Each structure stands twice: as structure tokens, then as C-alpha cells.
Amino acid sequence: MVTGDAAYIKKINRALILEKIIEEGMISRADLSKVTALTRATISAQVADLLQENLVVEAQLEHNTVGRKPIMLSLNRSAGYALGIDLDYGQITFTLSDLLGRPVSSNVVELFTTNYEEIHRLLTEHIRVYEQNCTDSHYGLVGIVVAVHGLVTKEEIIHYIPRLNWHEVDLKRDLAKEFTIPIHIENNANLCAFAERVYVHHQTDNLLCATLYSGIGVGMMMNSEFFRGHDGFAGEIGHMIVMPEGKPCECGNKGCWEKYASETSVFKALSMSRHIKGLTHAQIQQWLQDGDGEVEQLMEQFLYYLAIGLNNIINMYNPDVLVLDSKLLQLYPSALQRIQGHLHSSISHYRELRISSLGKESCVLGACALAIKSFLDVPRLNLSWESA
């Protein structure tokens, strides 16, 4: 039983009630009392506050049995909105979601610069538009989370973004000068992992998500919290050396994992051998369907090196679920079985290896979900991907 300051206990009870309402979708006061183990009086008092705050709405459940129709509670999904931003090289993706994490709009803006001041100005202009468009809702824009493809400190300062060549940039501080909305900066791989846990793997406490697009990043959820390391830089596993004295990497080492097992490594090899610029996933898919031997051999090599790195991180972290975020893997038949065929170690333990069903959307979905979690101040957030 929780004891302590009355206001603190009330806050904990409120968070628990909100968490269960979101998790169940619709739930009666009586059932809410059962699943939370809180008294009906506590439930009634808390729900009254949530109704007054416009965070929860009531509806009568239609059914054919005799007796009084139960009054069901659900989160007022349109009471406010969250803005997720994926700041990548060459483009910025903006996704606005309701309070249940369902996207209501998405927009991709091309970037033709890496200049910090210009990109900051562009972000500010678009955020103002979203802020204005949300003013009709009760809470408006409740939070903004910006995903960056680089190193972020625990204080949410951008330490380094390789492709933008940004060093020690305080984007959070600079945006906070323009807006009163809560703003957070987070690594993109962490947000992908968060989205996988929030939208798909609800019962998972320990989850790793490897993103394999331009490089390799690994987002790590341990006990449903981000595992960040000492400075916040954990997860840069793409720079684990898998081939001593191998291909040179921009990080300064040779033989880094992402030089052999990222999608970029496959695209680069095919572009060079076939003298094609702007190679697409659709072209590779067609070659695979045609039984192109060179492409199949390259994909097998990609899976082989991918498995080497996965074996290492499985042994290091012993995850419950390991998710691979890659469009190439979705295109290749039996990719998971082939990867698992390379994982021979008798001491490697994990429960489930999956290819992401969220794909590239996972980053902005994770950003929206993190903004929602911070606004509602709940310890755990389970959202429905079907509704998204």
C-alpha cells in the first residue's frame, strides 16, 4: 500500500487511472476499481476531476441485456495534440497526433541546407502553424518532440549529428525561446524503440530496436525506460567493429558494422556495380522477384553481417524482444529465418526477433507518444496501432 503525502498519493492514483483508461480503451468505474485495486470512492473523485478537466469523456455502452446501461469512460482524444518531428538529412517529417497517438496529419518538408540557423527558422515557422491550428482544442498543442539522427546528451543538447555536421547545438533552448509548449530532443533510434513498445509490444519491458537505414542505431528500452549510458550516447552500435581493418568509416575506425549491414551499404554496392544513381527499394524488389543472382548474393551477405552484430548485442543485453526496422528486410523472403540461421550460439538468449510493422513511421510515432506520455504524466503508455 502506498503511503505518504496526500497530494503525492493522489497524483499516483490519477496516473494509474489514466493509464488503465487508455489501455482498456473504454472501461466502467466499477471495472476501473477492480483493475486498479482503488476504492470506488477514490475512483469517483478522480474521475470527476478528469471529466472537469476535459481529459475523460463518458458514453453509454449499447447492449441488448436487461438492466441499466453501463457508463463507460474513455480518454478524450481530441482534447489536445502532440507534434512529432523527425529531423533527418535532406528532409523534416512533421506528424500531428491526437492524445491516443493516432496521426491526424503528416507533412514532409525537403531540406536543401545543413545550416543550423536556416533549419531552426524552418522548424519555428512550421511549429507556429501547427500551434495555431490546434488552438480550437481544449489543451492545444501539448508537447513537441524532435528526433535527431545523432548523439543527444542527457540534458537534451545535440552533441553531434554527422550528416548535418552539427556540434554542441542546444536546439531545445533555442526553440523554447519561441514557444511555451514543452519541447524535448531525443535520438531517433530511441524513439523507434519507444514506438515499438508503446504501439506493438505492450507486455515487453526489455526491447531493442535496430534501425538499419542510413547507418545503424539501436534504441534500448530497459524496464520500460530508455537505456542511455553515462552521457546519453548509448546505442551507437553501428560503430561496433565486425571486420578488423575493414572498410574505413567516417567515425575514424575501420570495419564498423554499419559499413556491412545497413541499407546504405547495399544501395551503395548496387549503385556502383550497376552505375545507377537514385536507386530505389522498388528496383531492388523487382530484381529479387526476377531472381537476380547478384542482388540475392548481396542480400545474403547483408544478412550474414547483420547476424554477426545481432549476435553481439543479444549477448550483451539479453533482450526480451529485438525489432529490426528495415524496408529491405520486408522485401526479402524468409529474411528472419535466414538471420536466425546464422545465430548459432547456445548462450544467446532472446524471446522474439521481429521485423518492424511500423517501419519508418516509428520515429515520428515514438515522438508523438513521448509527448503524450509527458503531458499525461503516466508511468506506462499502451496505445493501439490499429487506431493509428
Ordered mean pLDDT values, 10 residues apiece, the chain (388 residues): 73 95 94 94 95 93 66 96 96 97 96 96 97 96 96 94 92 97 96 96 91 90 85 84 91 91 93 91 94 93 94 90 94 90 76 91 96 96 75
How many Å apart are CA 172 and CA 158, to the nearest integer? 9
| Strands ordered across the beta sheet of 141-148 | 103-110, 91-98, 81-88, 141-148, 183-187
The answer on 219 and 118 residing in a single domain is no
User: Which residue, of 36, 59, 75, is where some domain finishes?
Assistant: 75
Q: Is residue 282 part of a domain?
A: yes
Residue at 349: amino acid letter:
H
CATH number at residue 126: 3.30.420.40
Stated pTM of the model: 0.91
Q: Is residue 1 part of a domain?
A: no
Domain range for 93 is 81-193+362-376
Residue 80 cell numbers, joined = 489536445
The answer on 220 and 158 residing in a single domain is no
Q: Which residue has the cell 498543442?
A: 141
Q: Is residue 385 part of a domain?
A: no
How many Å apart are CA 327 and CA 317, to the nearest integer? 25
Element housing 38 (H / E):
none
The answer on 307 and 187 residing in a single domain is no
CA distances from 56 to 34, 105, 249, 381 (A): 19, 23, 52, 16
How many Å apart are CA 277 and CA 116, to the nearest integer? 28
**Residue 387: what pLDDT?**
44
Q: Is residue 388 part of a domain?
A: no
Contacts of 115 (CB under 8 A, 6+ apart): none
To the nearest 10 degrees (0 to 180), the angle between helices 29-36 and 40-52 is: 120
The answer on 348 and 256 residing in a single domain is yes
How many Å apart are CA 48 and CA 70, to the nearest integer? 16
Q: Which residue has the cell 526477433?
A: 353
The answer on 306 and 368 residing in a single domain is no
The answer on 352 and 229 residing in a single domain is yes
**Residue 66: what pLDDT?**
60
Do 101 and 388 meet the contact criterion of CB atoms below 8 Å apart?
Answer: yes
As to burial, measured by CB atoms within 10 angstroms (0-12 exposed, 13-18 middle, 19+ buried), residue 108 is: exposed
Q: Where are the alpha helices (DSSP H) in the chain?
A: 6-24, 29-36, 40-52, 116-133, 171-176, 188-195, 258-261, 263-274, 281-289, 293-317, 327-331, 335-342, 362-376
The answer on 258 and 149 residing in a single domain is no
Please report how many Cα atoms fall inside a 13 Å half-sphere around the Cα of residue 281, on the Cβ side: 9
Kind of pairing between the strands at 225-226 and 217-222: antiparallel
How many Å apart are CA 80 and CA 100, to the nearest integer? 10
Element housing 73 (H / E):
strand 71-75
The answer on 87 and 66 residing in a single domain is no
Closest C-alpha to 58, from 22, 36, 31, 28: 28
Q: How many helices (H) and strands (E) does the chain have?
A: 13, 16
**Residue 278: what pLDDT?**
87
Q: What b/e string do you get for 211-228 counting C-beta neighbours within 10 Å, with b at 16 or more?
A: bbbbbbbbbbbbeeebbb
As for how many domains the chain has, the answer is 3
Residue 27 cell numbers, joined = 472501461
**Residue 65: what pLDDT?**
60
Q: Is residue 387 part of a domain?
A: no
N-term to C-term CA, the chain: 36
The answer on 258 and 345 residing in a single domain is yes
The answer on 213 and 188 residing in a single domain is no
Q: Is residue 336 part of a domain?
A: yes
Q: Is residue 47 part of a domain?
A: yes
The answer on 95 and 67 residing in a single domain is no
- Residues linked to residue 56 through DSSP beta bridges, in sequence order: 75
User: Which residue, of 75, 92, 119, is where some domain finishes?
Assistant: 75
Q: Is residue 214 part of a domain?
A: yes
The answer on 228 and 337 residing in a single domain is yes
How many Å apart are CA 167 and CA 303, to the nearest integer? 33
Residue 56 cell numbers, joined = 475523460
Residue 243 cell numbers, joined = 571486420
Residue 78 cell numbers, joined = 481530441
CATH number at residue 27: 1.10.10.10
